[in-house]
Amino acid sequence: MRGLMGTFALMPLQDLVEFLARRKASGSLTCERGTVRKTVHFVDGVAVSASSNDPREYLGQLLINFGHLSEEQLAKAFETQQETKVRLGKVLTMVGVVAPEVIRETLAIKIRETILDAFVWDSGVFRVDEAAPPPPDELDAQVPLADIAREAEFRTTAWQAFRAQFPTGTATLVVHDGRAPTGLVPDSIDDRLLRLAREGKTIDEIGLALHATDFALYQRIYALANQGALSAGAQHAPRPADDVAHARALLVAARVALEGGDVAQAESMATRAAELAPALPSAETFLTEVRHCLADRLRTELLDGPHRPRLKVPAHEVALMRLPASDKYLLARCDGTRELAQLVELAPLAEIDVLKAVKRFVDGRIVELA
DSSP string, 341-361: HHHHHHSSS-HHHHHHHHHHH
What is the phi-psi region of residue 238: left when phi exceeds 0, alpha when psi lies from -120 to 50, beta otherwise? beta
Residues 43 and 142 in one domain: yes
Each residue's pLDDT expressed in tens, for the chain with a length of 370 residues:
566 889 888 889 999 999 999 999 999 999 998 778 999 999 999 999 999 988 889 999 999 988 899 988 998 998 888 888 888 999 999 999 999 999 999 999 999 999 999 998 877 889 999 877 778 788 889 999 999 999 999 999 999 999 999 998 889 999 999 998 988 888 889 999 999 999 999 999 999 888 888 999 999 999 999 999 999 987 654 445 457 788 888 888 999 999 999 999 999 999 888 878 776 778 878 888 999 999 999 999 999 878 899 999 998 888 888 888 899 899 999 999 989 998 998 888 889 999 999 999 999 999 999 8
Domain end call among 302, 323, 351: 302
Residues 32 and 109 in one domain: yes
Residues 61 and 146 in one domain: yes
Domain end call among 302, 318, 351: 302
Taking only Cα atoms into account, the Rg of the chain, rounded to an integer number of angstroms, comes to 21
**pTM across the whole model:** 0.76
Residue 158 within any structural domain of the chain: no
Vertex 209, ends 68 and 297: CA angle to 5°? 105
Residue 201 within any structural domain of the chain: yes
Angle between helices 145-165 and 214-226 (to 10 degrees): 60
- Count CB neighbours of 358 within 10 A: 25
Residues 35 and 121 in one domain: yes
Residues 277 and 336 in one domain: no
Domain end call among 108, 123, 152: 152
Residue 161 within any structural domain of the chain: no
Residue 160 within any structural domain of the chain: no
Structural domain of residue 202, as residue ranges?
Answer: 166-232
